[in-house]
Amino acid sequence: RMSRDIRERAGLDVKVSILEKDLNFSTARIHELESRLEEETQKRRPLEEEIAELKCALDKVHSSLSHIRLKAKREVYGS
């Protein structure tokens, strides 16, 4: 019985060792991916800000064109 307990204990120790290695590898991979994600987020931020500025400018142009169109209709139709 003691021999069997020792074998079981050794088997558990091997399993624990394998799981710890897998955990360490997975943790390192997660950190690597998080770092890469942060880098990509930093690259996107200026582009997202530029897109927001361009949308705002486009909205202003659209608003101005609508105003000009209404003014021109009033002048043409005398309303």
Full pLDDT tens readout for the chain, 79 residues: 888 889 999 999 999 999 999 999 999 999 999 999 999 999 999 999 999 999 999 999 999 999 999 999 998 888 6
Q: What share of the chain is helix, strand, coil (3-state, %, to 5)?
A: 95, 0, 5
Contact assessment for residue 44 and residue 51, using Cβ atoms and an 8 Å cutoff: no
Phi-psi region of 3 (alpha: psi -120 to 50; beta: other; left: phi over 0): alpha
What does the pLDDT read at residue 79? 62
Q: What is the pLDDT of residue 60?
A: 97
Identify the pLDDT of residue 2. 85
Return the pLDDT at 41: 95
Contact 52, 46 (CB under 8 A): no
